[in-house]
């Protein structure tokens, strides 16, 4: 296992020892023998998500654990070390006409399988295949004290044991290190077709609900627009050539029924459209990006709320949505920290009323002084704290990541408290 002491390149200046294990044994030894707070990091594509882990005493990088352990093409399963980049894994299984049915925007930045599971990150294809938690059939994790836990196995219908993978999903490295993962695979679709149309949020919502109730079974749906403006709707279908073409015709007819003018994109134009959508979801430095998860029926309301709060705060805003899943990203353009805080609190107020969840994914560091980064704890916070106490009783892993949920939030000035003007 290589080790060193370097500044952390992802907002954790002053990080202490950096460990780069190459296998499960070295990972367990690194956590068993280490002391103090620990930041677990893969490719670092989501270090801005949730609260900041300040100056961890140990940074455990998983990028040295990047091997395919076994690939059983006949059973359509693959076992990997968690530090393998998703893109490299996709290239490996593509040789057998298979893929991990996952297309997160962060894959282009080198996102690892373990990091994606820990972040609960997915992509628009979740519409058809579910998220990563639905594709994992086995996982091996290392707890803060170096002990190893396993659940599941290499058989898709294996239900033995406690489902560690679902606990890790979205934990952002705060419960354990994901060391190895077993995934189910799917055949690569023979044909993919994307239908595009221009639609405002209200009509896009109506179309999404109509498609959900119809026979076309879209694989992915996306919509994006500046606050209050006309947007772009993308609907992707896939399958055998004849089936995909018939589904695309049904999608086009459904869009036309709502007064839209659909067009089937060429494969090259479709690739560009989805690549542009990936970049929109990720955002850019200097922006504040807030994710909001709700219901597909709420898209129009979310767009209206964003229009209202962005005008109040004096910032530009754009909504980027996986509309069929009720998963939205709000990008606020460059502004002062106080403006960002005002806008985020406005969207969170709506989310709390709608019983939806939010998470900050990107913001300038200065924003944290004006905002409770994690927002209101969910009703399940007591259960989350109990799980944290069982998995990491010393609170070594990712301290601060869930500040205000696992730990008390920092004291904010009166102007930064929730509900203030």
Q: How far apart are CA 106 and CA 46, in angstroms?
A: 8
More confident: 287 or 6: 287
Specify whether the CB–CB gap between 139 and 181 falls below 8 A.
yes
Q: Kindly state whether residue 257 falls inside one of the protein's structural domains.
A: yes
Residue 98, domain extent = 68-187
Give yes or no: residues 82 and 173 share one domain: yes
Q: How far apart are CA 407 and CA 400, in angstroms?
A: 7
- pLDDT recorded at residue 410: 46
Give the ranges where 1-106 is alpha helix by DSSP (H).
24-33, 86-94
Give yes or no: residues 174 and 97 share one domain: yes
- pLDDT recorded at residue 35: 81
Q: What is the dihedral of CA 68, 74, 75, 80, to 10 degrees?
A: 0
Q: Which residues contact 112 (CB under 8 A, 6 or more apart)?
A: 42, 43, 62, 63, 66, 82, 83, 84, 85, 86
Specify whether the CB–CB gap between 254 and 216 falls below 8 A.
yes
C-alpha distances (whole Å) from 322 to each of 285, 291, 347 are 22, 11, 18
Q: How far apart are CA 331 and CA 316, in angstroms?
A: 8
Q: Kindly state whether residue 164 falls inside one of the protein's structural domains.
A: yes
- pLDDT recorded at residue 16: 76
Write the CATH number for 211: 3.30.70.3450
- At 54 the three-state DSSP class reads coil
The pLDDT tens digits for 160-190 are 455 889 999 999 999 999 999 999 999 999 9
Q: How far apart are CA 151 and CA 137, in angstroms?
A: 8
Q: Kindly state whether residue 97 falls inside one of the protein's structural domains.
A: yes
Radius of gyration over every alpha carbon of the chain, rounded to an integer in angstroms:
22
Counted residue by residue, the chain has a size of: 421
Give yes or no: residues 175 and 144 share one domain: yes
58-61 and 38-41 beta bridge pairing: parallel
- pLDDT recorded at residue 406: 85
Give yes or no: residues 172 and 196 share one domain: no
Q: Kindly state whether residue 371 falls inside one of the protein's structural domains.
A: no
Last residue of one domain, picked from the residues 159, 187, 215: 187
- At 232 the three-state DSSP class reads strand
Give yes or no: residues 91 and 145 share one domain: yes
Specify whether the CB–CB gap between 116 and 106 falls below 8 A.
yes
H or E segment to which residue 205 belongs:
helix 201-213
Residue 217 has pLDDT above 60, yes or no: yes
The pLDDT tens digits for 55-99 are 899 999 999 999 999 999 999 999 999 999 999 999 999 999 999
Q: How far apart are CA 41 and CA 22, in angstroms?
A: 14
Q: How far apart are CA 58 and CA 296, in angstroms?
A: 41
Structure confidence at residue 3 as a pLDDT band (50, 70, 90): low
Specify whether the CB–CB gap between 254 and 243 falls below 8 A.
no
Q: How crowded is residue 41: how many other Cβ atoms within 10 Å of its Cβ?
A: 28
Q: Which residues contact 95 (CB under 8 A, 6 or more apart)?
A: none
Looking at residues 340-346, what average pLDDT do you find? 97
Specify whether the CB–CB gap between 341 and 416 falls below 8 A.
yes
CA dihedral over 375, 380, 382, 386, signed as positive or negative: negative
**CA angle (403 as vertex; 21, 280 as ends), nearest 5:** 75
Give yes or no: residues 166 and 80 share one domain: yes
Q: Kindly state whether residue 207 falls inside one of the protein's structural domains.
A: yes
The pLDDT tens digits for 119-138 are 999 999 999 999 999 999 99
Residue 225 has pLDDT above 90, yes or no: yes
Specify whether the CB–CB gap between 108 and 90 falls below 8 A.
no
Q: Kindly state whether residue 320 falls inside one of the protein's structural domains.
A: no
Q: Kindly state whether residue 400 falls inside one of the protein's structural domains.
A: no
- At 19 the three-state DSSP class reads strand
Residue 234 has pLDDT above 90, yes or no: yes
| Number of domains the chain is built from | 2
Give yes or no: residues 176 and 200 share one domain: no
Give yes or no: residues 203 and 182 share one domain: no
Give yes or no: residues 173 and 198 share one domain: no
Q: Which residues contact 198 (CB under 8 A, 6 or more apart)?
A: 230, 231, 232, 233, 260, 261
Q: Kindly state whether residue 324 falls inside one of the protein's structural domains.
A: no
Structure confidence at residue 409 as a pLDDT band (50, 70, 90): very low
Q: How far apart are CA 219 and CA 324, in angstroms?
A: 10
Q: How far apart are CA 231 and CA 238, in angstroms?
A: 23
- pLDDT recorded at residue 132: 94
DSSP letter string, 81-94: ETTSBHHHHHHHHH
Q: In the 8-state DSSP scheme, what is residue 377?
A: P
Side-chain half-sphere of 97: how many Cα atoms within 13 Å?
6
Q: Provide the token pair at 156.
A: 């898709």
Q: How crowded is residue 51: how many other Cβ atoms within 10 Å of its Cβ?
A: 25
Looking at residues 224-232, what average pLDDT do you find? 94
Q: How far apart are CA 313 and CA 421, in angstroms?
A: 10
Write the CATH number for 96: 3.30.465.10
Beta bridge partners of 149: 141
Last residue of one domain, picked from the residues 209, 230, 264: 264
Give yes or no: residues 224 and 239 share one domain: yes
346-350, 382-386, 403-407: range with lowest mean pLDDT: 403-407
Give yes or no: residues 239 and 258 share one domain: yes
Give yes or no: residues 183 and 211 share one domain: no
């Amino acid at each position: 296992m290589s080790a060193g002491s370097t500044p952390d390149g992802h907002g954790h200046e002053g990080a202490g020892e950096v460990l780069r294990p190459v296998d499960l044994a070295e990972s367990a030894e690194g956590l068993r023998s280490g002391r103090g707070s620990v930041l677990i990091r893969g490719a670092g594509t989501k270090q801005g998500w949730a609260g900041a882990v300040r100056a961890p005493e140990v940074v455990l990088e998983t990028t040295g654990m990047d091997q395919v352990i076994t690939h059983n093409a006949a059973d359509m399963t693959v076992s990997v070390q968690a530090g393998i980049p998703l893109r490299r894994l996709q290239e490996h299984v593509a040789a057998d006409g298979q893929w991990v049915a996952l297309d997160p925007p962060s894959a282009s930045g080198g996102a690892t399988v373990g990091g994606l599971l820990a972040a609960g990150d997915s992509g628009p294809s979740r519409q058809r295949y579910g998220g990563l938690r639905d594709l994992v059939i086995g996982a091996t994790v290392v707890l803060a004290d170096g002990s190893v836990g396993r659940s599941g196995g290499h058989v898709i219908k294996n239900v033995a044991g406690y489902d560690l993978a679902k606990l890790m999903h979205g934990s952002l490295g705060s419960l354990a290190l994901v060391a190895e993962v077993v995934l189910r695979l799917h055949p690569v679709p023979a044909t993919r077709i994307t239908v595009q149309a221009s639609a405002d949020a209200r009509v896009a919502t109506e179309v999404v609900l109509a498609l959900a109730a119809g026979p076309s079974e879209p694989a992915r749906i996306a919509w994006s627009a500046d606050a209050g403006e006309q947007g772009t709707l993308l609907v992707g279908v896939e399958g055998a050539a004849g089936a995909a073409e018939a589904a695309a015709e049904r999608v086009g007819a459904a869009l036309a029924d709502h007064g839209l003018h659909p067009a089937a994109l060429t494969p090259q134009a479709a690739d560009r459209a989805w690549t542009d959508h990936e970049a929109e979801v990720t955002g850019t430095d200097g922006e504040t990006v807030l994710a909001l998860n709700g219901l597909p029926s709420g898209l129009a309301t979310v767009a209206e709320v964003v229009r209202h709060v962005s005008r109040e705060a004096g910032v530009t805003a754009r909504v980027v949505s996986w509309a069929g899943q009720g998963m939205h990203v709000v990008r606020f353009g460059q502004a002062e920290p106080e403006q960002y805080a005002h806008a985020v609190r406005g969207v969170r107020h709506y989310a709390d009323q709608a019983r939806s969840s939010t998470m900050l994914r990107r913001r300038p560091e200065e924003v944290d002084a004006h905002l409770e980064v994690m927002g209101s704890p969910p009703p399940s916070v007591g259960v989350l704290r109990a799980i944290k106490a069982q998995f990491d009783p010393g609170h070594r892993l990712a301290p601060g990541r869930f500040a205000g949920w696992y730990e008390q939030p920092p004291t904010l000035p009166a102007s930064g408290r929730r509900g203030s003007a």
